[in-house]
Amino acid sequence: MTAPDYANCEIRLEENGFMKRHAQCLLAENAVTSDRFLQDWTNLSNGSGIHCLGLDNDVYHAISDVLSTTVVNSFDQHGPRWFEKTRITKEIPAFSSGPVRKGHTVHESIELGGARKYLNEVAHIVSAECGTAAGELSKTKKAQDKIAEELDAAGKTVAVTEKLAQELIAIEDNLNENTAAKELLDDALAHEVSCIWKRHDGHHLRCRFDMVTADGIGVDFKTTSTANILNDFWKSCITFNYAMSSAIYREGGQVCGITDGGPLRFVVISTVAPFECQVVEIPLSMVDRESKRLGGILDEIHRRTETNDWLPDGYGSVCELWFPSKFLENNYD
């Protein structure tokens, strides 16, 4: 991946105060090293944060002592028992699926300069017998041996099927055709920016921006299996509570000084034909609402951790179920 041209960025960003400060904040001498990032967060004072530009993805996700967006949403949506079994006792394994792995490949190809460059320099397109009809890599021993052989011969470590390669190219073309998405990509100042901050209430949080632009915009890439993003992606936003994600990223970017404090911008990419791409934001009213809820959720996680109490709400009581108001109306005409 080409390193950001910080010198050029600083010249461009002279236009206004924030942009200049933002570029300076992302300069190498101000971002902490990976080692310092992993050590110094424990010394943060309330309302301060640190960021790192070169932290390995697996290392970031292994920071178990600091809550992330995914963890907060897991507790909020699935409850304390689920939180305990997935995070503390690890009796329930982390979720993984074909769409998740495909989304990672799409994300990686964008970050590394687009599908064509990715397929030329990073990934190897395997022969037909190594793939399935759905375009995924075959998991049979024969296919896996063949994939390993081809990767070794090509001197590469990433394997993709012909079908996936064609889809990646279609996605790249859609990104370039959407001027809103292309402007964000052209304005990228840094990718994979890791942040840890200590809130004024004393709780630590972390987030990792897929991309931060020279204008101080935090960007998150999302893939979806829906074809009409503007019509249907809101359902994913509800399911995975991306409003909370936007609230946490907005706070982290502002505390760490790398974004302008605006809402997270999602570049949403459809993984089904015709591979539409849209740039969207969560309504501010929803983001503000989740910002207000965040402190209470963190307090409860802290309390339950301290007392080792992971019983779901309602245990020990007979609970009356909640129903939408339309089901409680007396008019049956």
pLDDT in tens, 272-324: 999 999 999 999 999 999 999 999 999 999 999 999 999 999 999 999 999 98
- Span 165-218, pLDDT tens digits: 999 999 999 999 999 999 999 999 889 999 999 999 999 999 999 999 988 899
Measured CA to CA, the distance from residue 13 to residue 245 in angstroms comes to 28
In the DSSP assignment, the letter for residue 31 is S
The backbone torsions φ and ψ at residue 50, rounded to the nearest 5 degrees and listed phi first, read -135, 160
Q: Please, what sign has the CA dihedral across residues 50, 53, 54, 59?
A: positive
Q: Give the model's pLDDT for residue 76.
A: 95
**Rama region for 217: left / alpha / beta (φ>0; ψ in -120 to 50; rest):** beta
* pLDDT of amino acid 11: 38
Q: pTM here? A: 0.85
Sketch the domain layout of the chain as residue ranges.
96-177
CA–CA gap between residue 101 and residue 59 (Å, rounded)? 18
| Tens-place pLDDT, residues 128-143 | 999 998 888 999 999 9
9 pLDDT band, cuts 50/70/90, is very low
The strand pair at 204-213 and 67-68 is best described as parallel
How does pLDDT run across 111-121, given as a tens digit for each residue?
A: 888 999 999 99
Report d(CA 166, CA 139) in Å as an integer.
21
pLDDT at 6: 37
Report whether pLDDT(12) > 60: no
Instruction: Evaluate whether 274 touches 233 at the Cβ level (below 8 Å).
Output: no
Q: What is the mean pLDDT of the chain?
A: 88
Q: What is the pLDDT of residues 87-102, one digit of tens each?
A: 889 898 766 555 567 8
pLDDT at 96: 55
Mean pLDDT, rounded, for 319-333: 81
